[in-house]
Amino acid sequence: MEKTLPPIPAKRYFTIGEVGDLCGVKPHVLRYWEQEFTQLRPMKRRGNRRYYQHHEVLMIRRIRDLLYEQGFTISGARNKMQELLQSERDKKRNGEVMLDGVEVLEVDDADLGEYEDSLGADLAEDGVLQLLQVRRELFEIRELLASA
Identify whether the C-beta of residue 98 lies closer than 8 Å to the C-beta of residue 91.
yes
Residues 88 and 120 in one domain: no
Residues 72 and 113 in one domain: no
Q: How far apart are CA 9 and CA 131, in angstroms?
A: 33
Going by C-alpha positions, the residue among 50, 44, 43, 53 that lies closest to residue 12 is 53
Residues 18 and 88 in one domain: yes
Residues 33 and 58 in one domain: yes
User: Does residue 101 sit within a domain?
Assistant: no
Q: How far apart are CA 83 and CA 54, in angstroms?
A: 21
- Give the CATH number, domain containing residue 58: 1.10.1660.10
Identify whether the C-beta of residue 132 lies closer than 8 Å to the C-beta of residue 112.
yes
Residues 41 and 70 in one domain: yes
Number of domains in the chain: 2
User: Does residue 4 sit within a domain?
Assistant: no
User: Does residue 22 sit within a domain?
Assistant: yes
pLDDT in tens, the chain (148 residues): 456 899 999 889 999 999 999 999 999 999 999 999 998 999 999 888 999 999 999 999 999 999 999 999 999 999 999 998 888 888 777 766 555 444 444 555 555 555 555 555 555 555 666 777 777 888 778 777 777 6
User: Does residue 25 sit within a domain?
Assistant: yes
Q: What domain range includes position 31?
A: 14-93
Residues in the chain, overall count: 148
